[in-house]
Structure 1
Amino acid sequence: MKWEEVCENKQLQDLPFKIELNKWGQIVMSPVKIKHSFYQGRIQRLLESFLKTGEVMPECAINTSDGVKVADVVWCSEERFKIIEDEVSASIAPEICIEVKSSSNKLEEMEGKKNLYLEAKAIEVWLCNEQGKIKFYNQQEELEQSLLVPNFPKQIQR
């Protein structure tokens, strides 16, 4: 299955699952709980308050070497947004890709997505755990803080 077919399929719309494709075109669905949505929304609002340029977007579909993955929140510069804004799924990852772990995710899956986003040219990948703690990564290493948004908190508060 191709991402365009997923987007156009009426039976796959309005499902309470995050939908992605693996490299064989098979649908992968992950259920999310309220806390996942809370962290996703809070991260989006915080990013918008810290960054005055570019686009902050939830649920951004990104082409990876393992199929289309959907980052929970992304920040994309105006330059990259011009490249991807009319695409069905992003041909290049936004500069910041953020994944919020849900109870259905395994740690290996989160690490795998981090590597896929970096391979797709993300500059930073942030991973938020189920307690709201965020770890920041770039191509080289885990970072003490984000280099692109240095004031972003390491812990999301309720």
Structure 2
Amino acid sequence: MKWEEVCEHKQLQDLPFKIELNKWGQIIMSPVKIKHSFYQGRIQRLLESLLDRGEVMPECAINTSDGVKVADVVWCSEERFDIIQDETSASIAPEICIEVKSVGNSLDELQFKKKLYLEAQALEVWLCDEEGQIKFYNQQGELNQSVLVPGFPKQIKK
């Protein structure tokens, strides 16, 4: 399948799963629990409070070398947003791509997605574990804190 077909497919519209495609066009579905949604929402609100420019978006579809992946939360500069805003899936990754671990994800899968987002020109990838701890990465490896949003906490509080 192509991403456009997934987006327009009536039977896939209301599924309670995150849907992605692998490089062969196969649908990958990941169920999420309430805690995943909580962290996703909290991260989005924190980003919006710390940044006065750009766009913070949940569930952003991004073209990668392994098909379309959907980052849980992203931050995109106005310049990149101008490029991708009318696309079905982003041809270039937003500057910050964030994944929240859920029971359906392995750590290896999150590390793989991190690599894919960085290849797609993300400047930073953040990984949030099931306890709300965030690790920040760029092309050079793990960071002590985000360079783009230095005030972002390393732990999301419940």
TM interval, short-chain normalised: over 0.9
Q: Does 1:41 align with 2:41?
A: yes
Q: Give the 5 Å matches for 1:121-140.
A: 121-140=121-140
Query: Which residue pairs with 2:94 in the alignment?
Result: 94
Structure 2 CA distance, aligned partners of 1:82 and 1:2? Answer: 23
Query: Which residue pairs with 1:17 in the alignment?
Result: 17
**Structure 1 residue ranges, 4+ long, deviating more than 3 angstroms after superposition:** none
CA positional deviation for 1:14: 1.0
Query: Which residue pairs with 1:5 in the alignment?
Result: 5
Structure 1 CA distance, aligned partners of 2:113 and 2:140? Answer: 16
Structure 1 CA distance, aligned partners of 2:33 and 2:125? Answer: 22
Count of residue pairs brought into register by the alignment: 158
Q: Secondary structure at the match of 1:147?
A: coil
Deviations along 1:20-78, one digit per CA (max 9) or x if unpaired, are 00000000000000000000000000000000000000000000000000000000000
TM-score norm. by structure 1 comes to 1.00
Structure 1 CA distance, aligned partners of 2:14 and 2:131? Answer: 27
Query: Which residue pairs with 1:115 in the alignment?
Result: 115
TM-score norm. by structure 2 comes to 1.00
Query: Which residue pairs with 2:55 in the alignment?
Result: 55
Structure 1 CA distance, aligned partners of 2:62 and 2:157? Answer: 28
Structure 2 CA distance, aligned partners of 1:104 and 1:5? Answer: 24
Matched to 2:92, the amino acid is I
Query: Which residue pairs with 2:77 in the alignment?
Result: 77
Query: Which residue pairs with 2:26 in the alignment?
Result: 26
Q: Does 1:147 align with 2:109?
A: no
Structure 2 CA distance, aligned partners of 1:73 and 1:141? Answer: 20
CA positional deviation for 1:5: 0.1
Matched to 2:74, the amino acid is V
Structure 2 CA distance, aligned partners of 1:76 and 1:19? Answer: 21
CA positional deviation for 1:7: 0.2
CA positional deviation for 1:141: 1.1
Unmatched 5+ stretches in structure 1: none
Structure 1 CA distance, aligned partners of 2:35 and 2:74? Answer: 18
Matched to 2:132, the amino acid is G
Matched to 1:49, the amino acid is S
Q: Percent identity?
A: 83
Matched to 2:123, the amino acid is I
Structure 1 CA distance, aligned partners of 2:147 and 2:141? Answer: 12
